[in-house]
Structure 1
């Protein structure tokens, strides 16, 4: 196969948050990075997925091994990180395994919280960025859109989403492990985006006494607070409201720490050191890890949610197993399509090659036989065409079977090698070669045996 799919990345299992945050891509700023990705030698198509739990680059090219070797360097250069610092945390998947991984990511089977719904929306948004930047082509378009369908099918046919909790609800579960009851507690939510709103809903659903919503855009904080029955808080007045919060959940993004140690220390003095529980859901982190050194302050980041997630794994495992079966079937379906991209041009090239030889030999025989009447010429044409069809029947049958049986993939490469079929970098038959074969050359170079191969 002349083309391949490669996925290189790291996630919450392969790398701690300290590493993930160093290579995270900012939302809305993917276009320049996508253009640089397309400039990597050998990359024909590309996309970038960056969430709080993973950073992955998907690419297609004629030499998947070379592309896979180049992508770690791309990630390192994009973020000014020494490549050796990433080496122990990166994983690489190629071809079928790359497709399988992408399908599992879309279906939330590879998430920290299996079944959480946010990942599909993030995947759609970031694929749209790749398409808008002109980085996606035929293969990634098909692959990503198929992953969206796989995710929907799994939600429809299994209860994996029902058994799961979102990142936000996992944060709530962790807070309930700190406080005996939530009814008399007040929560401050930093960030009113999708993750923040989901978390606020979970807090209220679990009986938190009151919720304050702070966002850089105050109108957005007002809108979310109105829907949830919460209290909007002006971003510039955080210092005033922070001492009122028993729980602080940060789901915002930004450069630097939103709450440095000094701000939390001052709030704790006003609280007379009543416990404060903070969860940092952001990557990069926006709460200063140093606040954990303060008395009665408990700070957890997104990696700490794994403990909450583990409590639900048993119930989700059975549904996840059903989902994995669906993924396997869908990968087979996609791979049949992908493999067929090489089958059709190979069949065309083989037919044209043999037809050129047949026509050349017929013309040479007519010259030796002398004048033949039309009926005799037609008989000669039918005879040679029948021979060609008989000779090609077995190889063409094997090639067509390859379109429905991934185990037969080697037949395409075998046909190309045995019949010396020229192909372009994308697996398409060279137009020049096809045209040359179709013109019935005057001399014998169309023969299957290479006259330069003396040992054959």
Structure 2
């Protein structure tokens, strides 16, 4: 199967709203059913990847356009939209473009925060789920393994991950300055975006133990609470959860303000004006700018944390460019490997044909000396190609001439004939015993 059969279709933070992603998102228990629906739709090699930033299907199919339509219909049904309405918010990649996208996802180059470390683990978990469901095959496995190799190179050869982890470290630093030891703090995560989880990872490594999670879709918050070993708060109880939080991390990115000045004013009153550290880790922002102007609310967005971390834009862009270079090198190697593998059946068929001719010659002329036998074998092997070339030469139209020129170029390349003298010996010398040369 050629690389044109690779396919990726999905929705991410770049193409659609958080509400659409929430509707498409699946927790771990739902994934097997989605994989079975893909199988029923005729997609026999597929990974269903559902993260905070994206929901996408990575697949291999002989007719990728047909498969993309079937997957889009499945996704549209899940969110309750007509397929054409959802299609405008989906991205579709095929062939090597799909493979490059897969590599970029594995290397965290397509994440909201370049270099965040969670996506590779999420991709591997989705891969394991697909394998358990019997929905992986040699083509998809090859692409995924190449993606993991590229991601390992990016992590080891570039400082790209340092930018993401330094943002989390900056959040810990600000939390310490405001509240002291994080062990004495309680935190609220609003939304389940990857950067929010990254900030919480840093805080928990610093000692934070009390974590509550709320999200516009309760089932996603419950799943995140299980994954992060935190407490689940229903969305309807957000005001109460907010009042009990010393640190608030927002990571929903719905395109509207989730944390408003009114909500924060009520929370601060209930907290008797004890300060709140707010990390707006969403793109677009979750926090009303008016909140930052309130006494007791200390709001930092990702740009603010970056300044605290002293991460220069030039250094980040250089690391990102180096990572993309690795991705492109890996893609070229992958394409070359697949092309070489695609050529194997043709080479095997040619070898089988040569061997059959050799055996036939030995049966027919087993008493020949080596010189006569090898000459006879060469003539037999060249007989059919010579006929085809003569037939092409007889066609004087443009198509025939072009085919002949292409065939000759291929022969010269396959057998490295450049610079070799053409054998002008008599035709009789090249004639097989008992056969007329045509």
Instruction: Tell me the TM-score range normalised by the shorter chain.
Output: 0.5 to 0.7
* Structure 1 equivalent of residue 39 of structure 2: 38
Matched, 1:16 2:8: no
* Structure 1 equivalent of residue 114 of structure 2: 114
Q: CA deviation at 1:388?
A: 4.8
Which one of the candidate residues 360, 378, 384 is aligned to 1:386? 378
Residues 1:388 and 1:88: Cα distance change in structure 2 (over 3 Å): farther
Q: How does 1:127-146 map to 2 (within 5 A)?
A: 127-146=127-146
Contact 2:196 2:281 survives alignment (8 Å): no
1:392 and 1:320 mapped to 2: Cα distance?
54
Residues 1:265 and 1:150: Cα distance change in structure 2 (over 3 Å): same
Residues 1:382 and 1:129: Cα distance change in structure 2 (over 3 Å): same
2:93 and 2:365 mapped to 1: Cα distance?
63
Contact 2:167 2:305 survives alignment (8 Å): no
Question: Does the residue aligned with 1:57 lie in a helix, a strand or coil?
Answer: strand
2:108 and 2:101 mapped to 1: Cα distance?
10
Residues 1:239 and 1:5: Cα distance change in structure 2 (over 3 Å): closer
Contact 2:68 2:92 survives alignment (8 Å): yes
Q: How does 1:210-249 map to 2 (within 5 A)?
A: 212-214=210-212, 242-249=242-249
Q: How does 1:78-93 map to 2 (within 5 A)?
A: 78-93=78-93
Q: CA deviation at 1:51?
A: 0.8
Greater CA deviation, 243-252 or 319-328? 243-252
Q: How does 1:369-408 map to 2 (within 5 A)?
A: 374-375=366-367, 382-390=374-382
TM-score, with normalisation over the residues of structure 2? 0.64
1:325 and 1:120 mapped to 2: Cα distance?
19
* Structure 2 equivalent of residue 188 of structure 1: 187
1:122 and 1:166 mapped to 2: Cα distance?
21
Contact 2:12 2:53 survives alignment (8 Å): yes
Residues 1:169 and 1:30: Cα distance change in structure 2 (over 3 Å): farther
Q: CA deviation at 1:28?
A: 3.5
Question: Does the residue aligned with 2:179 lie in a helix, a strand or coil?
Answer: coil
Q: CA deviation at 1:169?
A: 6.0
1:10 and 1:312 mapped to 2: Cα distance?
30
Contact 2:178 2:277 survives alignment (8 Å): no
2:365 and 2:38 mapped to 1: Cα distance?
64
Contact 2:7 2:92 survives alignment (8 Å): yes
Query: Which ranges of structure 1 fall in alignment gaps of 5 or more residues?
Result: 226-231, 253-257, 367-371, 395-410, 419-456
1:141 and 1:48 mapped to 2: Cα distance?
14
Residues 1:334 and 1:309: Cα distance change in structure 2 (over 3 Å): farther
Aligned residue pair count:
365
Query: Which ranges of structure 2 fall in alignment gaps of 5 or more residues?
Result: 215-220, 253-257, 387-402, 411-438
* Structure 1 equivalent of residue 68 of structure 2: 68
Contact 2:188 2:245 survives alignment (8 Å): no
Contact 1:113 1:167 survives alignment (8 Å): no
TM-score, with normalisation over the residues of structure 1? 0.61
Q: CA deviation at 1:128?
A: 0.8
- RMSD across aligned C-alpha pairs, in angstroms? 5.3
Contact 2:281 2:302 survives alignment (8 Å): no
* Structure 2 equivalent of residue 52 of structure 1: 52
1:234 and 1:107 mapped to 2: Cα distance?
31
* Structure 2 equivalent of residue 5 of structure 1: 6
Q: CA deviation at 1:247?
A: 2.9
* Structure 1 equivalent of residue 389 of structure 2: none
* Structure 1 equivalent of residue 341 of structure 2: 341
1:356 and 1:75 mapped to 2: Cα distance?
53
Q: Deviations over 1:350-399 (max 9, x none)?
A: 55568779999x89xx9xxxxx87425998864453135457999xxxxx
1:306 and 1:349 mapped to 2: Cα distance?
60
Q: CA deviation at 1:214?
A: 3.7
Q: CA deviation at 1:330?
A: 0.9
* Structure 1 equivalent of residue 155 of structure 2: 155
* Structure 1 equivalent of residue 415 of structure 2: none
Q: CA deviation at 1:341?
A: 3.5
Contact 1:113 1:165 survives alignment (8 Å): no
Contact 1:249 1:280 survives alignment (8 Å): yes
